[in-house]
Amino acid sequence: YPIPPVATPPAGVSVSGTVSTGTKQLPFPAESLPRPLDRFVTECASAIGCDPSYVALPLLVGLASAIGNSRRICLKRGWVEPCIIWGTIVGESGTQKSPAMEAALRPIRKRQHEAIKEHARAVEAHEADLLRHEKELREWKNTKTSGNPPEKPPEPTADRYFVDDVTIESLAVLLQQNPRGLLLVKDELSGWIGSFDKYTNSKGSDASKWLEMFGGRSIIVDRKSGPSKTIYVHRAAVSVCGGIQPGTLQRALGVEHRENGLAARLLLTCPPFRPKKWTESDISHAIEQELADIFGGLYLLQPQRDENGEPHPVDLPLSPAAKEAWIAFYNEHAQEQAELTGDLAASWSKLEGYAARLALIVHCARWAAGDSTLRDPDVIDEQSIEAGVTLSRWFGIEARRVYAILSETPEQREHRRLVEMIESRGGSVTARDVFKSSRRYSSTSDAESVLDSLAKAGVGHWEHPKPGPSGGRPTRHFVLTTCVPETNTPSGGPVSGGFGDSGKEFWGYE
């Protein structure tokens, strides 16, 4: 997965992410994940009937939240990256976003379920303690002793692992009680973005605090009521995961959130739509248990204590080989970013840090899985860095696709979906196949005319099979133009799976 080269935008096209060199999504590099996470992603995607990235992205977010403030990656003195990921799975309704997210985050939900039950038991015990305290307090008052009154038992708080609907104020309280950090899960991510400043009169205040939380920095929330007028969280760590439809994402990420950098902080995946098909495949109990064990191991990671007894993340340095791999990536990525502008340049600036954060997740997951190749749990090695870089580069290529999709005209969107449909059928269709695939085409001739336009634009060509032994006129097939192989993109060539410049006119760029 080499760093994708910069595409020169055609005349009249904004360079802020609207340039698309094709519609085909590169396969998610599940092999970069440590075992058994790679097997879980492929098995789960097969069982649900969705793209593997729909499982992998929420899984990475969930793992990040489990690590939380216990570990950071130290790239050099003065540059550490926290374990915080914001992931967005983009797709139309019915593309299995929710089932994929549910399967990937099930270990966290189970842990939360047990924590709530434990809290209910603690509340019952606390009520009994309160009755005992009231009795002891009355006795103390009656005896009129000079000693201190009996202490009131503290109210128990529930361990929290995830939230789904919170204000900044309530989130700050929960982060005080759970300094490790939290996971925000929204089935529809637009609800999260739309909630900013919903209950305040300070425009932009919520968004700015979320941007601070992405960096694991401190936040201060002032309120008019409550036991404390000021809520201070030293290291506010919240990973975010949710699904959203392309059109909704386009509306939600307006100018404000592109300019303040919120959009650039979202890791995106938007695989082409494919119809659901029944399968008997399922996730094995063994792999589910292995995943649960990894999450359990990550939650056992503890921060260190500073001289004041305050918790502090353990900063993991790079091995010499890992440092070499990081420097090579950093320099190449910096050159790539220098040639970008607008939305993609902003996205590339965050993908740099994401490579390190993803490497940290891979490293900790390898430790929790008992990877025998991991020599030192307190040092990030070259293998973890290379995995983080591979994942970051994949998300960079996907960001190009998603920004292009968000900038489409209705006509371009229809054309893209047509090409995706042809790709889903192996890259070859007949006019009748196209006619039957969509109500948009009134006849086979109408579908054939659209395919003629694709051929004229250089996106594909017609193939005329030779007549068989029995004679007759064979049905001709439209075949998509073969592109550069996905696994061997030469430096400076088009992004893998793209159509280069041959389809500009068809896609409406000229």
Output the pLDDT for position 353. Answer: 97
The predicted model gives 267-277 an average pLDDT of 85
CB atoms within 10 A of CB 89: 30
Output the pLDDT for position 421. Answer: 82
pLDDT in tens, 186-237: 988 988 988 886 666 556 678 899 999 999 999 999 877 767 788 999 999 9
pLDDT in tens, 90-99: 988 888 899 9
For the whole model, what pTM was predicted?
A: 0.82
Which residue type occupies 6?
Answer: V
Q: Are 427 and 479 in contact (CB under 8 A)?
A: yes
Tokens of 156: 């128990």
d(CA 418, CA 398): 19
Give the SS3 label for residue 130. helix
d(CA 90, CA 95): 9
Please state which of the ranges 8-17, 152-161, 290-299, 310-319 shows the lowest mean pLDDT.
Answer: 8-17
d(CA 260, CA 197): 15
Percent of the chain at pLDDT > 90 equals: 54
The predicted model gives 169-173 an average pLDDT of 92
Q: Are 423 and 23 in contact (CB under 8 A)?
A: yes
Return the closest-CA partner of residue 459 out of 407, 423, 408: 423
Q: Is the pLDDT of residue 413 over 80?
A: no
> Using H for helix, E for strand and C for coil, what is the string for 419-430?
HHHHHHCCCEEC
Q: Please provide the average confidence, as pLDDT, over all residues in the chain.
A: 84
Return the closest-CA partner of residue 111 out of 24, 3, 183: 183
Neighbouring-strand partners of residue 242: 88, 186
- Give the C-alpha distances (Å, rounded to integers) separating 205 from 85, 221, 225, 350: 21, 10, 19, 21
d(CA 384, CA 67): 16
Peptide bond connecting 99 to the previous residue in cis, omega within 30 degrees of 0: no
Angle between helices 37-48 and 285-300 (to 10 degrees): 130
The predicted model gives 61-77 an average pLDDT of 97
Strands 230-233 and 219-222: antiparallel
Which backbone phi and psi does 314 adopt, to 5 degrees? -80, 120
d(CA 446, CA 358): 47
d(CA 242, CA 476): 43
The residues near 493 (Cβ < 8 Å, ≥ 6 apart) are 5, 484
DSSP run (H or E) holding 258: helix 255-259
Number of residues in the chain? 510
Residue in the block written with tokens 């939230």:
163
DSSP state of 380: B
Helices and strands counted in the chain (H then E): 17, 15
With the CA atoms of 263, 268, 271 and 273 taken in that order, what torsion angle do they form, in degrees rounded to the nearest 10?
-50
Q: Is the pLDDT of residue 368 over 90?
A: yes
Output the pLDDT for position 264. Answer: 94
d(CA 93, CA 87): 18
CB atoms within 10 A of CB 314: 15
Q: Is the pLDDT of residue 510 over 70?
A: no
The predicted model gives 68-83 an average pLDDT of 96
d(CA 444, CA 442): 7
Q: Are 241 and 109 in contact (CB under 8 A)?
A: no
The residues near 43 (Cβ < 8 Å, ≥ 6 apart) are 281, 282, 283, 284, 287
d(CA 245, CA 177): 34
